[in-house]
Every structure is written in structure tokens, then in C-alpha cells.
Amino acid sequence: RQRRGRAAAVSTRILFVRAVNVGGATLPMAEFRALLAELGGENVRTYIASGNAVLDVPGDAARFDRAVEAAITERYGFVREVISRTPAEVSAALAAHPFEVVDPKFSYITFLTATPAADALDAAANVPTGDDEWQLAGRELHLRFAGGMGRAVLNLDRLLRSLGVAGTARNLRTTQALVELAG
């Protein structure tokens, strides 16, 4: 516990917002940076207009993520999950990617809100994949789309429903850029 008068511990986080700037859920990045700063985030940087940020978060990271979700809902009128990880966790997820990377745009890491239950893996095994591949590693779902996400047989939304968790996917190029941005 922290004593009154002492500054709250600060941790660097890579923050992902699910499904923004697609399908009418617009979140301008300048406004997003301002929102994160208003909530106490420091040294806020965003990367491309798809809900990615690197920032220093005071106190409990999960509490901060929930505050960002609530603020997005209040200001923009849509509900989106906010998922964050430390730069070390994102770097470890990149290093653990189990598939051959033919093109980094075809390989993804989906950052999940929770670890799926064991029985959910049985249901997910029935989701058609074609030549696409997926593998769960804790709170991350690794994907490789044989012909790219646009030509995928594997339906990520269906897979996530089967796993019983929400998540947001980023290709390996974007994920690597976020680790680099975090320093």
C-alpha cells in the first residue's frame, strides 16, 4: 500500500482499444491522447489510427483500462474493450509467435481480456480454419492467415465467441512498432 502524500507507482503500458475507426466507431487519435492525459496518463503516444497507445499509467493498470473504457463510452457513445500490457509482455508475445512469418501483415497477435477457460478450447477447435492457423498462449491468441486477413477462412469474431473472451488483433509489424515506441 502507498501512503498518503506519496506518488502512485507508474508503469509503462501498451494500450489497445478494440475495433475503433472501423464500422462507424470513430475515435480521433488527438482526442484519444487528450482523453488518456485527462485520466492521468503521462508521456502519451499513439500509433496509427486504430486505437494503439503507449503511455505511463499511474497506479493500478486494470483500473486505468476500465476508466478509459468508461470515458470512451461516455464521450463517443460506443462500448469498446481496452486491453493493456507491459512492453515486456508484448515483446514476449512477439518472441513466442509460433508460426512461420511469411509476411508480417499475415501474422497477428490478439490481445485477450482474459485467459479462456479450458472447455472453451474444445468449442474453438470446431471453428473452420482452412489453411489459416491459431494457437492460444495464455492471454494471447496467435494467428497466421495463409492469404492475409482479407482472404481468411478463419473468422476471428467466431473464434473469440467460442473462446468466450474479447480481444483485439494487431499484426506483427504494428506490434513490433509499439514495442519500439515504448522504448
pLDDT category of residue 7 using cuts at 50, 70 and 90: low
Q: 53 pairs with which residues across the strands?
A: 15, 46
Q: What's the average model confidence in pLDDT over 69-92?
A: 95
Does the global pTM surpass 0.75?
A: yes
pLDDT at 99: 97
**How confident is the model at residue 4, as a pLDDT?**
44
CA distances to 7, 26, 72 from 105, in Å = 41, 23, 28
3-state secondary structure 98-157: CCCCCCCCCEEEEEECCCCCHHHHHHHCCCCCCCCEEEEECCEEEEECCCCHHHCCCCHH
User: Per-residue pLDDT for 3 more than 50?
Assistant: no
